[in-house]
Every structure is written in C-alpha cells, then in structure tokens.
Amino acid sequence: MSTNQIEICREKINFFGLNNRINVQQLNALDIDSNIGNYDIVLSEDSFSHIPHRNVLLDGICKVVKKNGLLVFSDLVKTNKIKSRELSNQQKAWRLWDIETKDSYVKIISDSGFKLIDYKINLGKTLLKHHIDKDMANGDCSPDIYLNTLKNDKKQLLKEWGSFNYYRRYERLKTYKYIEEGKLDYNYFVAIKD
C-alpha cells in the first residue's frame, strides 16, 4: 500500500493519456468490496504470497471483476520436494506467509468463482531472475558465482550489510537454485470469472 508507487502509476497513466481508461485505487487487499467499482482485469506480480488468507483475497477480487473479466498474477509456489527448514528460510527472506502449491492455487482460484485458463512456468522464472539480478552487485555474474561470494565473504558482508540483509540476499539466491532443483516454482496464472 505504497502511496509513492500509486503516484508513479498515476503519472505513467497520465503520460500515456489513459486517465479515462484506467482507475487506480489504494486499499487493503483483504477488505475489497464491490463499492470500489467493477474491473475488466486485475493484475498482480509477486504479491499474493505476501498476503495471508488468499481465499479472502480472491473472493474480494472476484466481487469487483466483471463477468468474463480476468485475473492475472505471478507468484512463488512450493513443491513436495522442499524441506520445511528450506521453506521457512525462504518465507523469512521474502517476508512471505505460507507459500501455496500449484494445486492449492488452482483450488482457491476455482472456489473464488474464477476458472483457470492458463498456467505458465517460464515467464515466472524470467520475473524471478529479474529480482535476483537486482540483488547481485554485478548483473553479469551468475547466481552460482554470487552465492559463492556470499559464502566466501560471509564475515565481511555481515559487517557491511548486517545479518538481515545478508541472509535475505543469500536465501533469495537459493530460491533460484530451488527452482532449478524442482523444490519451488515461480508461476504465472490467468483466470477468467465464470
């Protein structure tokens, strides 16, 4: 609920002359009701895992999406290969609530009144790579090289960054490895309101 991000969005809408076509509102994602209007599409990138009670969230979104309107979102999902300690560390690093599985998202989407029409993995991996690149000091090095740097220079980096920032970067890089190992996926969902 960043006021600054809302203002940036409004500036871009104004710049492209879309004021009469796009409406931006700032609100609590768990307190959505039909009084805010009806929308053709709701987009979300990497947000749902930061919000508890996803069933309440998607029920609220369904209330404001027009019939045949779309819900498009990307999010991190867990597989049965990830260990509970690995999952816990990932949730702390990304400041997430419980991470859904693909199947639990499909169920929540369906229970909320949407029908899943597309599900992609590769686009999500591209988005995650973008996040990881931001964390790396040099965008040209690979996640493996950066992860080794974090391990080898741990004492120095802990002094410079503090423990929270160090472990957050370390776990975020492990996210990419977990995806490669099939412990996590980073998925893109498209659903239509029935």
Distance CA 118, CA 83 (A): 28
Q: What is the pLDDT of residue 142?
A: 66
Distance CA 53, CA 168 (A): 24
SS3 content of the chain, % helix, strand, coil (to 5): 50, 20, 30
pLDDT at 140 over 60: no
- pTM of the prediction? 0.75
pLDDT at 159 over 60: yes
Residue spans of the domains in the chain: they are 32-193
Q: What is the pLDDT of residue 113?
A: 96
pLDDT at 134 over 60: yes
Alpha helices by DSSP H, listed for the chain, are 3-15, 54-64, 84-94, 102-111, 122-135, 143-152, 154-161, 163-180
| Predicted confidence band of residue 54 (pLDDT cuts 50, 70, 90) | very high
pLDDT at 28 over 90: no
Q: What is the pLDDT of residue 77?
A: 92
Q: Which superfamily, per CATH, for 32-193?
A: Vaccinia Virus protein VP39 (3.40.50.150)
What value does the mean pLDDT of the chain take?
85
| Predicted confidence band of residue 126 (pLDDT cuts 50, 70, 90) | low
Q: What is the pLDDT of residue 70?
A: 95
pLDDT cut 70: percent of the chain above it:
88
Q: What is the pLDDT of residue 151?
A: 82
Of 67-71, 78-82, 89-93, give the lowest mean pLDDT range.
89-93
Distance CA 102, CA 138 (A): 33
Please give the residue that has the higher pLDDT: either 6 or 128. Answer: 6
Q: Based on the number of CB atoms within 10 Å of its own CB, is 43 exposed (0-12), middle (13-18) or buried (19 or more)?
A: exposed
Q: What is the pLDDT of residue 105?
A: 95
